[in-house]
A and B are shown apart, each in its own frame.
Chain A
Amino acid sequence: MSGETFLYLLKGLGLSLVLGACSLVVALLGGLAVALCRLSPRPWLRRPATAYVEVIRGVPLLVLILWIYFGVLSDLFPLHWFPASILAFGACYSAFIGETYRAGIQSVDPGQMEAARALGLSRRVAMRRVVLPQAVRNILPALGNEAISLFKDTSLATVIAVNELMNRGKQVAGRDFRTMETYTVVALLYLATTLVFSLLQRRLERRLGVGTAHHDPGHH
Chain B
Amino acid sequence: MSAPLITIRDITRRFGDREALRGVSLEVAPGEKRVIIGPSGCGKSTLLRCVNLLERPDSGAVLVDGIDVTAPGVDLDRHRARTGMVFQRFHLFPHLRVRENVALAPREVLRLAPGEADERALRALERVGMRDRAEEWPSRLSGGQQQRVAIARALAMEPKVMLFDEVTSALDPELVQEVLAAMRDLASAGMTMMIVTHEMRFAREVGTRMTFLDEGRIVEEGTPAEVLDAPREARTRAFLSKVL
Q: Within the complex, are A and B direct neighbours (CB within 8 Å)?
A: yes
Determine if A215 and B139 form an interchain contact, defined as CB atoms under 8 angstroms apart: yes
- Closest A-chain residue to B106, C-beta based? A119
The reply on B95 being an interface residue by CB < 8 A is yes
The reply on B85 being an interface residue by CB < 8 A is yes
Contact of B105 among A111, A114, A120, A137 (CB under 8 A): A120
Determine if B139 and A214 form an interchain contact, defined as CB atoms under 8 angstroms apart: yes
Contacts known (A134-B94, A134-B95, A214-B139); A121 close to B108, Cβ less than 8 A: yes
Q: Majority SS of interface residues in chain B?
A: mixed
Minimum C-beta distance from A63 to chain B (A): 40
- Closest A-chain residue to B105, C-beta based? A119
Determine if B87 and A214 form an interchain contact, defined as CB atoms under 8 angstroms apart: no
Minimum C-beta distance from A114 to chain B (A): 6
Chain B contact residues (Cβ within 8 angstroms of A): what range?
Answer: 20 to 34
A113-127: which residues lie under 8 A (CB-CB) from chain B? Answer: 114-122, 125
Residues of A within 8 A of B (CB-CB), count: 22
Contact of A117 among B54, B82, B84, B104 (CB under 8 A): B54
Taking CB atoms, residues of chain B closer than 8 Å to A117 are: 54, 77, 80
Determine if A112 and B91 form an interchain contact, defined as CB atoms under 8 angstroms apart: yes
List, sorted by A's number, 14 A–B pairs whose CB atoms are closer than 8 Å.
A114-B54, A118-B52, A119-B109, A120-B78, A120-B79, A121-B105, A121-B109, A125-B108, A129-B108, A134-B93, A213-B94, A214-B137, A215-B95, A215-B137
B-to-A contact residues, CB < 8 Å: 52, 54, 77-85, 87, 89, 91-95, 104-105, 108-109, 137, 139-140, 150, 153-154, 157
Identify 9 new A-B residue pairs, CB closer than 8 A, beyond the known A114-B87, A120-B79, A125-B108: A114-B91, A115-B85, A115-B92, A117-B77, A119-B84, A119-B104, A119-B154, A134-B94, A137-B95
